[in-house]
Amino acid sequence: KEEAIAKIKEDHRGELSELESRLKVEKEREVSAAISKTEQEALDRLTKVKIDHDNEISKYKAAVTKEKEATEGVKLKLEQETHSRVLSEDRLKDVKEEFRYFINSLPG
Protein backbone atom coordinates (compact mmCIF):
# COMPACT_ATOMS: atom_id res chain seq x y z
CA LYS A 1 0.00 0.00 0.00
CA GLU A 2 2.76 2.44 0.90
CA GLU A 3 4.57 1.50 -2.27
CA ALA A 4 1.47 2.35 -4.26
CA ILE A 5 1.22 5.76 -2.57
CA ALA A 6 4.91 6.43 -3.20
CA LYS A 7 4.49 5.39 -6.85
CA ILE A 8 1.48 7.72 -7.30
CA LYS A 9 3.44 10.59 -5.72
CA GLU A 10 6.38 9.85 -8.00
CA ASP A 11 4.14 9.68 -11.07
CA HIS A 12 2.55 13.06 -10.25
CA ARG A 13 5.67 14.78 -8.87
CA GLY A 14 5.98 17.07 -11.94
CA GLU A 15 2.32 18.08 -11.85
CA LEU A 16 2.50 18.70 -8.09
CA SER A 17 5.64 20.79 -8.52
CA GLU A 18 4.01 22.83 -11.29
CA LEU A 19 0.89 23.37 -9.16
CA GLU A 20 3.01 24.48 -6.19
CA SER A 21 4.91 26.88 -8.44
CA ARG A 22 1.66 28.38 -9.78
CA LEU A 23 0.27 28.75 -6.25
CA LYS A 24 3.48 30.49 -5.17
CA VAL A 25 3.32 32.92 -8.12
CA GLU A 26 -0.38 33.63 -7.47
CA LYS A 27 0.28 34.22 -3.76
CA GLU A 28 3.13 36.63 -4.58
CA ARG A 29 0.85 38.44 -7.03
CA GLU A 30 -1.89 38.79 -4.38
CA VAL A 31 0.61 40.05 -1.79
CA SER A 32 2.04 42.54 -4.28
CA ALA A 33 -1.47 43.79 -5.16
CA ALA A 34 -2.34 44.16 -1.46
CA ILE A 35 0.87 46.10 -0.82
CA SER A 36 0.21 48.38 -3.82
CA LYS A 37 -3.35 49.01 -2.64
CA THR A 38 -2.17 49.82 0.88
CA GLU A 39 0.55 52.13 -0.46
CA GLN A 40 -1.97 53.93 -2.69
CA GLU A 41 -4.42 54.34 0.20
CA ALA A 42 -1.63 55.76 2.37
CA LEU A 43 -0.59 58.10 -0.44
CA ASP A 44 -4.22 59.21 -0.88
CA ARG A 45 -4.51 59.94 2.86
CA LEU A 46 -1.23 61.88 2.87
CA THR A 47 -2.35 63.85 -0.19
CA LYS A 48 -5.63 64.75 1.55
CA VAL A 49 -3.76 65.78 4.70
CA LYS A 50 -1.41 67.95 2.61
CA ILE A 51 -4.33 69.60 0.79
CA ASP A 52 -6.13 70.24 4.10
CA HIS A 53 -2.91 71.63 5.57
CA ASP A 54 -2.36 73.92 2.58
CA ASN A 55 -5.97 75.14 2.85
CA GLU A 56 -5.49 75.95 6.55
CA ILE A 57 -2.29 77.84 5.77
CA SER A 58 -4.09 79.81 3.05
CA LYS A 59 -6.89 80.71 5.48
CA TYR A 60 -4.34 81.77 8.11
CA LYS A 61 -2.41 83.91 5.60
CA ALA A 62 -5.65 85.55 4.45
CA ALA A 63 -6.59 86.31 8.07
CA VAL A 64 -3.13 87.75 8.75
CA THR A 65 -3.33 89.91 5.62
CA LYS A 66 -6.77 91.16 6.63
CA GLU A 67 -5.53 92.02 10.13
CA LYS A 68 -2.50 93.82 8.70
CA GLU A 69 -4.77 95.87 6.46
CA ALA A 70 -7.04 96.71 9.40
CA THR A 71 -4.00 97.65 11.50
CA GLU A 72 -2.66 99.86 8.72
CA GLY A 73 -6.07 101.56 8.52
CA VAL A 74 -6.10 102.26 12.25
CA LYS A 75 -2.48 103.44 12.13
CA LEU A 76 -3.27 105.84 9.27
CA LYS A 77 -6.31 107.17 11.13
CA LEU A 78 -4.22 107.73 14.28
CA GLU A 79 -1.56 109.54 12.28
CA GLN A 80 -4.24 111.77 10.74
CA GLU A 81 -5.76 112.48 14.15
CA THR A 82 -2.32 113.25 15.58
CA HIS A 83 -1.61 115.61 12.69
CA SER A 84 -4.98 117.32 13.18
CA ARG A 85 -4.33 117.65 16.92
CA VAL A 86 -0.91 119.20 16.30
CA LEU A 87 -2.46 121.66 13.84
CA SER A 88 -5.20 122.48 16.36
CA GLU A 89 -2.66 123.01 19.14
CA ASP A 90 -0.62 125.29 16.87
CA ARG A 91 -3.74 127.24 15.99
CA LEU A 92 -4.68 127.49 19.67
CA LYS A 93 -1.22 128.88 20.49
CA ASP A 94 -1.64 131.41 17.70
CA VAL A 95 -5.07 132.44 19.02
CA LYS A 96 -3.71 132.73 22.58
CA GLU A 97 -0.83 134.84 21.31
CA GLU A 98 -3.20 137.08 19.35
CA PHE A 99 -5.44 137.37 22.40
CA ARG A 100 -2.46 138.35 24.61
CA TYR A 101 -1.40 140.86 22.05
CA PHE A 102 -4.93 142.21 21.91
CA ILE A 103 -5.19 142.38 25.73
CA ASN A 104 -1.80 144.11 25.99
CA SER A 105 -2.74 146.61 23.32
CA LEU A 106 -5.82 147.76 25.21
CA PRO A 107 -5.41 151.16 26.89
CA GLY A 108 -5.07 151.29 30.57
In tens, the pLDDT along 81-108 reads 999 999 999 999 999 999 999 999 888 6
Instruction: Summarize the confidence of residues 41-64 as an average pLDDT.
Output: 97
Model confidence at 48, pLDDT cuts 50, 70, 90, reads very high
**For a pLDDT cut of 90, what percent of the chain falls above it?**
76
Q: Identify the pLDDT of residue 12.
A: 82
Q: Is 56 exposed, middle or buried (0-12, 13-18, 19+ CB in 10 A)?
A: exposed
* pLDDT at site 108: 67
Closest CA to 91 of 99, 67, 44: 99
Average pLDDT, the chain: 93
pLDDT at 4: 87
1-18 average pLDDT score: 84
What's the pLDDT at 13? 82
Among candidate residues 79, 60, 82, 59, the one with its CA nearest the CA of residue 71: 79
> CA torsion 47→51→52→55, rounded to 10°?
170
**pTM above 0.75?**
no
- Alpha carbon distance, N-terminus to C-terminus of the chain: 154
